[in-house]
Chain A
Amino acid sequence: MITEGNIIKIAGPVIIADGMRGTQMHEMVRVGEAKLIGEIIELEGDTATIQVYEETAGIKPGEIVESTGGPLSVELGPGIMGSIYDGIERPLEIIKAESGDFIARGIQVPSIDKEKKWTFKPVVSVGDKVTGGDIIGEVEETSAVVHKIIVPPSVSGTIKSIVNGDYTVVDDIAEVETEDGTIEKVQMLQIWPVRKARPYVEKLDPDIPLVTGQRAQDTFFSVAKGGTAAIPGPFGSGKTVTQQQLAKWADADIVVYIGCGERGNEMTEVLTEFPFLDDPKTGNPIMDRTVLIANTSNMPVAAREACVYTGITIAEYFRDQGYDVALMADSTSRWAEAMREISGRLEEMPGEEGYPAYLASRLAQFYERAGRVLTIGTEPQEASISVVGAVSPPGGDLSEPVTQNTLRITKVFWALDASLADKRHFPSIDWLQSYSLYVDSIQNWWQETVGDDWRANRDEAMVLLQEESELQEIVQLVGPDALPDSQQVTLQTARMLREDFLQQNAFDDVDTYCPPKKQADMLRTILLFNKEAQNAIARGGDIKKLESLPIKDDIARMKYIPTEEFEDRVKEIKAKVVEQIGGV
């Protein structure tokens, strides 16, 4: 049923229309002669308040508002992978073909190509029983991703017919006879409302780490598959590079990258770089397993509010196919600000710092859509969505509402620090402030993968770094020479940990990705240095000689040794550590 109302008020991205009785909350509408896309966010009697996803300049009272009968939804199916969408899943490439280099208003383009034929291979046969979530066929979408076609969550019954061959996403590919005898036709294309989480059976414990190849994140502050992490960082602290490194190197099958209210050139960088970057595991371009959502800061603010929902719905759809998905949202502060802006236009009673009172619950709802789950279907699969949300605290002040409400929900905190960034310590993750609550649950995985000493080494290194910060306070007062020799060794080792282990060069071909075994071996080598040096001091060795050992250069350059040579080279380095310190 289509309802038609009339605009009575316009203020920025928010309009009010009357004659809207019969429409639903969150229903999508077309606003005005330009047919701008909007969503109903408040209903009162005959009037509806609508947030409009496009610029509203030039719209007049009296123009028509048409309801569409459905909530704001995304289209899901083959053709998503490798695309770049705006906040409401309109493909930017196609918008460009239609309206040129600048984005025009009221453009209607399909999210997924309805003409393109995909080769559908069935994996069930006629007579098989299926329920919602079951995989009935596969499409090889890109070199990296086999797109599994699943039965929509609401459908179950017996397969009456199924096709094999080339079809478009809107062709019927199967017929399912439900229990009451009706025939449901199934297409590859599914439509799902963005504000509704897709169903799953149960949540599983997060006991497998999401390996990122970044030493600070993996060894010290690891995030689990299905976990949530927050990266708050003042501007210039390297937040975006950190996010992009995760998108490039995390061992997820699918990456959904949401550029929410960020810079246009940054999205361009991702677009120009990702197609040429190869996945370290498969050798396929990273773009083949990536979906980008770009709603830059100068694109309409309401679409910014919607873009995180669009992203997480796409992520859930791939999770339901049995994949591990990593979702990066950069930055959730811009999303929260979009909420604040809309709330202000609605003249709602503001909460802290003008943010709406429902900020905390919206953030929690979003992060709770992450998790490692058993998918629905006859044979449940383990699959996950890990969410990494960047937060941009105004003035670097972590006590502001968005950061605080985010930290209440997320389990990992990567505290980026501007003063580290000033010293060009990258990634500028502050090792004393950051934490991960997953360390205990993922410990077994690490110890099975890199050796039983993993947890002990990690903890020892953390203690050394903690000691260093205490010693630094004394050094500030009395100078380093006043410390006993053994504490000076601690300072030397901690410095190695900082400079040679925690610092990682994202722009170096080798150092940009550090596999778990190499990480563990690098840490072992530094700790070996510490042990041998402490022994040398204990037997009366000269601290000055220790300071100028050539082996320290070898340790500093460990990170640049290519992975395939690393195992042999690190043995030599360890031998040299023992030999050179033995001579002190």
Chain B
Amino acid sequence: MSEHERYAEDLALYALDALRGEDRALVDEHLATCAACRRELEQLRGDTALLALATTGPRPPQRARQRLLDAVAREARAVKVVETSPRRSWWGWLGWAATAAVVIFALSLWRENSELKASLASASSQAAKSAREVEEMRRIAAPILEPEAQRVTLVAAKAPPQPQGKVFYLRNRSSLVLLANNLPALPAEKAYELWLIPTNGAPIPAGVFKPDAHGSASVVNPPLPAGAEAKAFAITVENEAGSATPTLPLVMVGAGE
């Protein structure tokens, strides 16, 4: 049985949002590295959409429209103003690094929280406390992980935008966050792949990703071997399913600071 077949039935349950707990986490882990199964999940969601779209019934009451539009009017957004500075500021990076450290901490809390919930039903009060902490961390992390957050990269005045990537890696937790921007668009069927270049041994795949329309991308906690010591990180262009070994050239590379 191929790996895809092994996940095929669970993917259908996943598409129905019916998979919970450990079963869901296992599929999530597989989806993070398998483009074919991600496509199949999208297809299965499309199939479930047919069931939903084919439903007919009475129209919503007229008051529902006004209720929504009133709520929208109340929440009319304030335009966010971001002051940009022509000077590149070192403390900007520091703030970013601190936020990423919070993200990594939040993710590790989330992981611990999930494990706690699964294995210790009696410790529900502790789990609830962790959940509150996670919620708080998520709120803090939102500005860098939410796709709609405004991202401004400060560079030397008059310099054209350059591709940039920043990796935050916490070896003892195997936690990694990559934030990248100004990445060139890729041909169809191609994706970027991040590599952890260890002190000894072959490069380790650390996540396949595609930039959004603005060239921004992030990778959060890809599956990594425990405790791998990183000498450097690099990014290559690969087929969208990802590769086990990097295809040269390295389009971006960086060593520790």
- Whether A associates with B in a native complex is no
Query: B: which residues have CB within 8 A of A?
Result: none
A positions within 8 Å CB-CB of B:
none
